[in-house]
Amino acid sequence: MRIRAATEADLPTLERLWREFAAEIPPPPWVDVDPEEELREIAEIVAGEIALLAEGEDGSCVGFALARRAGSRLGRLTDIYVAPAARRNGVATGFVQEVTSRFQELGLDFVRLEVVASNAAARAVYARWGFREDDITLVAPLDVLAQRLTPEAGGVSVGVVYVQTDDLAAVERAVGAFGPRIGSHESQVDEPVNGWTAVRDAVATRDPAALRRLAKELSDRLGAIVLQLGVEPGAVVRLVARERGSVMDEYVSVPEFHGPLPSGDVVALAANPTVLARLTGGETAAIRAAAPNAASPGELPPAEEIVAAIVAALGLPPFER
């Protein structure tokens, strides 16, 4: 494999490779790419900056790299691409070695490159070479941003607590004793259905934090299995299962709806069908199908459909009345 400088005569080859690159790794949906403008920039770099090609043993070009000065001490590696068949042969390393040498000859001290966050393989290679994060660009869909900044635009929160008992009087006593602590003096305790007693509190049903406190208190006081099921705020479904006050499982349809989480926490917020089946008597396959996860509400069925599926899978009384 040989790396050489590209010349004006190589522009058609660079165009071919750039189009292969663009087809393999298309830009994000919010980036407008004008191919003609990109090709003009490539021609400018070939004429006055650093443009490299990699040639295979048969003389065919299998990759390219483009770089240019970006300041008195900084150079920028704008593009690097190696055709799939030529990868894992040190071509990318050779490109970066050559760019580094050229930049050092120009008296520069640093090189910068950009990579999409989802390209984990490339990021791992760049980190091994010595690249470190300098700044992070964040992007958000405007409809999601508007919904989260003004929750009322996406609907209000609503929630129900289900207690696994037929002892209506005991649930009413526990609700009556705890309700004032969350500022509530109006609670509806339904007649038991399928061994579950539903509690619909005027404050907790609209406040996810209060709903959580109510569910924990009832599970503690009654020593019972208690499910907290709600929609926050009109878009994300949350199910928390408690046994004698302890959380046994928690499911959130969009785990990072309220902000980024460690990867382990994201995984943990997927429903555990085995645990929920043990607690409720539901079937694991039905529970798994009823509780999907996604990165945004728009990738899932409407929240009310997810809630209805969970209620059916767990054999709970109706969510709303």
> What span, in angstroms and rounded, lies between the C-alpha atoms of 297 and 122?
29
DSSP H stretches of helix in the chain: 11-24, 35-48, 91-105, 120-129, 142-149, 168-178, 208-222, 263-268, 273-280, 284-290, 303-314
pLDDT score for 150: 55
Please tell me the predicted confidence (pLDDT) of residue 139. 81
Long-range contacts (CB closer than 8 Å, 24 or more residues apart) made by 255-261: 255/293, 256/295, 257/148, 257/232, 257/296, 257/297, 258/148
Distance CA 93, CA 1 (A): 12
- Own/partner contacts of 269-277, CB < 8 Å, gap of 24 or more, are 269/293, 271/239, 275/241, 275/248, 275/249, 276/241, 276/249, 276/314
DSSP state of 315: T
| Residue carrying the six token digits 């696994």 | 164
Burial annotation 99-138 (CB, 10 A radius, 16+ → b, else e)? bbebbeeeebeebebeeeeeeeeeeeebeeeebeeeeeee
- The pLDDT of residue 151: 46
Q: What is the pLDDT of residue 122?
A: 86
Closest listed residue to residue 207, CA positions, set 260, 159, 247? 159
Here the tokens at position 129 are 């070479």
Note the pLDDT of residue 143.
72
Do 188 and 157 contact (CB within 8 A), yes or no? no
* pLDDT lower than 50: segments of the chain: 151-154
| Amino acid 289: pLDDT | 95
CB 41 within 8 A of CB 77: no
- Calculated CA dihedral for residues 104, 106, 107, 109, nearest 10 degrees: -50
CB 119 within 8 A of CB 25: yes
Predicted pLDDT of residue 199: 95
pLDDT of residue 107: 96
pLDDT at position 146: 67
| pLDDT score for 115 | 87
Supply the DSSP string of 243-309, one letter for each residue: ETTEEEEEEESSTTTTS---HHHHHHTS--HHHHHHHH---HHHHHHH----SSGGGSS-HHHHHHH
